[in-house]
Structure 1
Amino acid sequence: MSGHSVQAVGWARSLPMNSEVKAARDWARRHLDTLGWTASAPETVDAVLLTVSELVTNAHVHAHSNAQLVMTWDTRCLHVAVHDDSTELPTPRPPSAERTGGRGMLLVDAMADSWQARPCSDGKTVIACFRPPATEGDG
């Protein structure tokens, strides 16, 4: 081993299709509170909560699936991952005056520092990364 280690903290929650997306947002906000982000990085908190809403909604509405929500903080990036049962990978679509929906991944793309979708043998996982703004003393 190189002597380097990664310290991380993480949380996981299963959200059945009959659960409200608000439950996912409230759960995520409580964990962001433990990181101190609601005071130090409120804009990042808003972006994370919007992303949680969009990804869980996509799992329920488009994948017709329960959502497995996992958030992991490794001191550099908050990874927000949502797994569902669909193998169809999401892609941002341009806004359209003819569609009332279909902007979720466009929003995720705009809010997250980065995101990716990974196929799995039992569906897919969409992961968005958020870095809070640097604070004084962050070097």
Structure 2
Amino acid sequence: MNRMDTDSWMHTQPMPMPGSPVVVTEFDAVDYLQKLPAEPQIFLWSDSDRAIPGDWSYLASVRQGVPPEGIMAEFTAWERQYPTAWLAVDLRRGVIPPSTQMPLDDLLSGMKRNVIIIVTDVEEYPQWPRWNLPF
């Protein structure tokens, strides 16, 4: 990969911020969150509740027979009900990505909350900065 490519991040980000999602492995996310002064409420937006880390909650990202409009209606209701919760988007290998009406990158970058993208390998997602907690 050409490091001068403007579609990839060269530096890490110390914390997720609204409008700036970060990519991280599940192991590192759990580790970093435990180091924060107050652990935030986190919802894993995933295709199944089979592999939810720690005490995270679950938000369905796909449902059989439910079109993207239905998933996004549930998502919008969740946003209103939990305005300060963090969203962890499950993009690990073998997981079906969220069913959305707009490109996922645009949706996540436009969110006014902290978003972490859980992946198997951070190298596979250069469009987002890696989360690297400095302490």
Shared fold per TM-score greater than 0.5 = no
- With normalisation by structure 1, the TM-score equals 0.30
- With normalisation by structure 2, the TM-score equals 0.31
Higher-Rg structure is 1
Q: Which protein has the bigger strand share?
A: 1
Q: Which protein has the bigger helix share?
A: 1
